[in-house]
Amino acid sequence: MSLIYVTSPIHPDVLQALSALGEVRLGYGADAVTYADIQHYVDAVFLRGGHISAEMLAASPNLRIVARHGAGYDNVDYKAAAELGVWVTNTPGANRRSVVEHVFALLLGIGRKIQLATDQTRNNIWAADRLSLTGIELEGRTLGLIGFGDIGQHVAPVAEAFGMKVLATDPAYDSSFDKRLVDLDTLLSQADVVSLHVPLQAGTENLIGGAEIEKMKTGAILINTSRGGVIDEAAVAEALRSGKLGGAGIDVLAAENTDMITPFSCNTFPVADLPNLLVTPHVAGQTNESLLRVGMSAVEAISAVLRGGPPLHPVNNPVPKTFN
């Protein structure tokens, strides 16, 4: 019987589907085991939270697949996996709708000052200063999408339904693909809202820093639901304090799962001290519908590999692996 290791909590229907494929061991909960406990026997890893390093892969002679729960795969050494004959897969598009909707949840939350209004009301202040709660409308404003892949292309029509103009930039495309595509400098200078939809990789780390923010409109809004490392958090914090940025909606941080009161990420991005910052804890894809779609896609990948076939969404091309 195959041994499947699940790193973090998943949808109960997905867990049931995994149980039909083999013995499931959990890295969380009352019966949690560590990866080291099962590394010599594990056949498949269902990876949501945590990391799978080259050393962990090398210590797993029976491992056939690491199935990522989500589109990103920067938390697994997929190149080392390929050399060791281990498939790495992801689930592109499965959480698309959830992330797209979260972009606008953040944008509307900032634009209509929902957090400030809620805090005042909870503190028994019924709009004592209505001017401080004056928001903005999206209609007629320009949304700039940095990254025009699957999610970016699905954010665009929602923005247009709000009456926004859309610009986008992506090195994989040119303006012959879509007339909304422009270069980065043009996008930064014209956008009222800039939303990031790029992976964290060479060339995208700190993609938006002080120099890029300086090119943006004063009072522009920044949205990031991609990866924390693609923005320079120190530069964003300073721009929020100075008013260069009117607000920021952030779902991903360079240093996650930390004390939200103490400044973090090189002591430059204290959440509690930035009232024009709206932060959510990496939950853009966290809807019941999305968790089920993403999870079942990962289950299908594991099932295919355990049956001896290739998975549907590989991110590497492993050398053939010989089992004893």
pLDDT, one tens digit per residue, over 221-266 is 999 999 989 999 989 999 999 999 999 999 998 877 665 555 444 4
Amino acid at 200: L
Output the pLDDT for position 81. 97
Among the listed ranges 86-90, 193-197, 240-244, 270-274, which one has the minimum average pLDDT value? 270-274
Average pLDDT (11-26) is 97
The whole model's pTM is what?
A: 0.86
Output the pLDDT for position 271. 67
Output the pLDDT for position 263. 42
Domain with CATH 3.40.50.720 in the chain: 3-94+288-306, 96-279
Which is nearest to 149 in space by CA: 73, 248, 226?
226
Among the listed ranges 63-67, 127-131, 238-242, which one has the minimum average pLDDT value? 127-131
Which is nearest to 231 in space by CA: 211, 204, 257, 258?
204
Q: Out of 3.40.50.720, 2.40.30.170, 3.30.470.20, 3.40.50.300, which CATH number does the structure's domain 3-94+288-306 have?
A: 3.40.50.720
pLDDT confidence bin for 15, thresholds 50/70/90: very high
pLDDT, tens digit, 9 for 90 and up, residues 302-322: 999 999 999 999 999 999 877
Among residues 83, 101, 282, 300, the one annotated as catalytic is: 282
Among residues 137, 160, 256, 289, the one annotated as catalytic is: 256
State residue 117 phi and psi, 5-degree precision: -65, -40
Is-catalytic flag, 256?
yes
* Average pLDDT across the chain, whole number: 92
Q: Out of 3.40.50.720, 3.40.50.1000, 3.40.50.970, 3.30.200.20, which CATH number does the structure's domain 96-279 have?
A: 3.40.50.720
Residues of the chain with pLDDT > 90, as a percent, come to: 75
Is-catalytic flag, 205?
no
Among residues 227, 233, 293, 313, the one annotated as catalytic is: 227
Give, to the nearest 10 degrees, the angle between helix 96-111 and helix 288-306.
Answer: 150
pLDDT, tens digit, 9 for 90 and up, residues 29-64: 998 999 999 999 999 999 998 899 999 999 999 999
CB 315 within 8 A of CB 73: yes
- Paired sense of beta strands 87-89 and 277-279, if any: unpaired
pLDDT, tens digit, 9 for 90 and up, residues 145-181: 999 999 999 999 999 999 999 999 998 898 888 999 9
Output the pLDDT for position 228. 87
Which is nearest to 227 in space by CA: 199, 207, 246?
199
The count of C-alpha atoms lying within 13 angstroms of the C-alpha of 18, restricted to the half-sphere facing its C-beta, is 30
Is-catalytic flag, 282?
yes
